[in-house]
């Protein structure tokens, strides 16, 4: 950030009075520009004993598989965001049943909120950001071709929960790649 | 938003190619400035059968009671944010035990994530943003003097869960005031 979004003057990184962290503050109008983590909302959409995965048609991770998920928009709920992303990426209608996972990824300031839900019909097809959409049984998850570590972690836990049919809310943190074993 | 934070040129609200929603786009460098909901992380901090509430020393809702909570910062986890806010507002150390509530407030583009936890010691005192900090039994919650409807909703559910000792994860949405009965 270089310029004030309100008045166009330059901003300086400094700790505002009464604050504890450096912020971008406008030199002229004194607006403090806070920057905060973004929510990625997504869905484990079930049809029978399989779930919906999408193969990405966009970078990053073009060609790899992911749960339908994307940035939550202003003016919607987390649940609406998860349903919308499933509609956009997999052209599928889902009815959510529960929150399933909340994963913080502090090194990129993102929080993933993944819900479980049921597909209303088995009708789906690739949306604009997907090359391919398909149903996978946990025994067949494409572990070597998953797009993001947060998806690997979510699907690993889902595959572990599935046999018992009990799905607690999972909380966790995704470390930077250099702090973990390579996936 | 009036100016591009990257180059200082004017921005125009328009739907970028391949997008579906209007965004602020720079007329010169073409940067798309996405705006997304912010997370407020907070804590139901228990000491015996009472929980910690803070009386606000800042606007909005100066003088009214709230759970310790505040905007999540870049670079932290949701859990770290809840613990930090409890330390800042109530000068109290808490160990989190579970996620308790996720409330979307779409009309102000906020998502509250409230955890349950245990105070490590009964030592607490007002931080810079609090006038007073105190422990309340659910039978004594200050219903008429709560700062925000999301806090009213969280505490209402907590008081209902407390007798059974079972605390599921609550999901919900807070409507604009005009769409609900006044609190």
Domain ranges of chain B: 1-35, 38-178
Q: What is the pLDDT of residue B178?
A: 76
CATH superfamily of domain region B38-178: Nucleoside Triphosphate Pyrophosphohydrolase (3.90.79.10)
Other Cβ atoms within 10 Å of A37 Cβ, number: 25
Q: Which residues lie below 8 Å from residue A108, measured CB to CB, with a gap of 6+?
A: none
As a dihedral over the C-alpha atoms of residue A71, residue A72, residue A75, residue A79, rounded to 10 degrees, the angle is: 150
State the Cα–Cα distance between residues B79 and B52, nearest whole angstrom. 17
List of chain B residues whose C-beta atoms are within 8 Å of the C-beta of residue A77: 104, 106, 173
Among chain A residues, CA nearest to B170: A99
Q: Which among B2, B36, B73 has CB closest to A39? A: B36
3-state secondary structure of B106: helix
Q: What is the pLDDT of residue A183?
A: 45
- Residue pLDDT, tens place only, A163-182: 999 999 999 999 998 765 54
**Confidence check: pLDDT of B97 > 50:** yes
Mean pLDDT of the A89-93 span: 98
List of chain B residues whose C-beta atoms are within 8 Å of the C-beta of residue A37: 39, 72-74, 76
Tokens 């965004």 belong to B23
Q: Which among A8, A75, A104 has CB closest to B8? A: A8
Is the Cβ–Cβ distance between A68 and A128 less than 8 Å? no
3-state secondary structure of A155: helix
Is the Cβ–Cβ distance between A111 and A97 less than 8 Å? no
Tokens 């509530």 belong to B101
Which of the four pLDDT bands, split at 50, 70 and 90, describes residue B84? very high
How many residues are given for chain B?
183
State the Cα–Cα distance between residues B115 and B69, nearest whole angstrom. 10
Same CATH fold, A38-174 and A1-35?
A: no
Question: What does pLDDT average to over chain A?
Answer: 95
Partner-chain contact B102 A111, CB within 8 Å: no
- Beta strand residue intervals within B28-169, DSSP E: 32-33, 38-47, 50-56, 65-66, 69-71, 94-105, 110-119, 130-136
- Residue pLDDT, tens place only, A117-144: 999 999 999 999 999 999 999 999 999 9
Q: How far is B4 from chain A (nearest CA, A)?
A: 6
Q: How far is A54 from chain B (nearest CA, A)?
A: 18
Which stretches within chain B are classed as H helix? 78-90, 149-161
Partner-chain contact A2 B18, CB within 8 Å: no
Partner-chain contact A106 B77, CB within 8 Å: yes
Instruction: Please name the fold of domain A38-174.
Output: Nucleoside Triphosphate Pyrophosphohydrolase (3.90.79)
Interface residues on A facing B, Cβ-Cβ cutoff 8 A:
1-8, 10-11, 18, 21, 33-39, 71-80, 99, 102, 104, 106-107, 109, 111, 113, 128, 169, 171, 173
User: What's the burial of B86, exposed, middle or buried (CB within 10 Å: 0-12/13-18/19+)?
Assistant: buried
ipTM for the complex? Answer: 0.94
Among chain A residues, CA nearest to B20: A88
Architecture of domain B1-35: Single Sheet (2.20)
Q: Report whether the peptide linkage leading into residue B60 is cis, meaning its omega lies within 30 degrees of zero.
A: yes
């Amino acid at each position: 950030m270089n310029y004030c979004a309100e008045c166009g003057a330059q901003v300086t990184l400094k700790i505002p009075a009464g604050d504890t962290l450096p912020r971008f503050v406008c030199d002229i109008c004194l607006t403090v520009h806070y920057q905060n983590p973004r929510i990625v909302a997504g869905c484990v959409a079930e049809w029978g004993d399989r779930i919906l995965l999408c193969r990405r048609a966009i970078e990053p991770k073009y060609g790899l598989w992911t749960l339908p998920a994307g940035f939550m928009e202003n003016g919607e709920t987390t649940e609406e965001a998860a349903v919308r992303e499933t509609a956009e990426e997999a052209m599928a209608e889902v009815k959510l049943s529960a929150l399933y996972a909340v994963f913080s990824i502090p090194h990129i300031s993102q929080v993933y909120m993944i819900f479980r839900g049921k597909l209303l019909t088995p009708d789906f097809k690739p949306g604009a950001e997907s090359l391919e959409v398909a149903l996978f049984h946990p025994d067949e998850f494409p572990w070597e071709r998953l797009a993001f570590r947060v998806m690997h972690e979510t699907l690993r836990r889902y595959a572990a929960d599935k046999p018992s049919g009990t799905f607690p809310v999972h909380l966790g943190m995704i470390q930077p790649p250099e702090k973990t074993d390579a996936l």
